[in-house]
Amino acid sequence: MAVVNEGALKKMLKQYKYRDLTVREITNVISQYKDLKPVMDAYVFNDGSSRDLMSLTGTIPISYRGNVYNIPVCLWLLDTYPFNPPICFVKPTSAMMIKTGKHIDANGKIYLPYLHEWKHPQSDLYGLIQVMIVVFGEEPPVFSRPTIAAPLPSLPS
């Protein structure tokens, strides 16, 4: 569970243009989804430039065919958040593989109408995560890798 107070978040987000709005949303989301935590890290843009940005990193719980899975995700917030949508990825562990599809590309980037049609204040992180949970519950973005590295059991003769 992430233990980050509002003062620490404000300090981390000092270059964010709408810092108070952003802090409020993050505080709200991490209180509801306790397996997500705010992390500052370098985000590399398509043109190769990089920038220190806040992400919410961790897992979101989905229910798929009656079982709960904790899907690893990273939601990057631009410094213009919430007036631009987050940039969202699934982050498969070494035991997982990405299942590309309508909502996921080979890099794990997440595409959703909710992100495409993002508009503050109707859109927010909490709503986004709820949409992800529904969409991923129908079409999981990652699956477990087959354990091909394990030695084959010898067959009984």
Partner 1 sequence: LNGGAVPSAPPTYT
Which residues sit at the interface with partner 1, rule CB under 8 A? 1-3, 34-37, 58-59, 61, 64-65, 67, 69-72, 92-93, 95-96, 99, 140, 142-146
- Within the chain, residue ranges assigned H as helices are 6-12, 19-32, 113-116, 125-138
Q: Which one, 36 or 110, has the nearer CB to partner 1?
A: 36
Minimum CB separation from partner 1 for residue 18, in Å? 27
- Complex with partner 1: residue 85 or 92, whichever CB lies closer: 92
Closest approach, Cβ 150 to partner 1, in A, equals 13
CA-to-CA dists, residue 83 to 26, 115, 120, 151, angstroms = 15, 11, 6, 52
Q: Which is nearer to partner 1, 118 or 136 (CB)?
A: 136
Place of tokens 């508009």: 119
Which residue type does 97 have? M
Strands 50-64 and 36-44, bridge-based pairing:
antiparallel
Residue among 56 and 112 whose Cβ is closer to partner 1: 56
Q: Which residues pair with 109 in a beta bridge?
A: 89
Min. distance of Cβ 80 from partner 1 in angstroms? 28
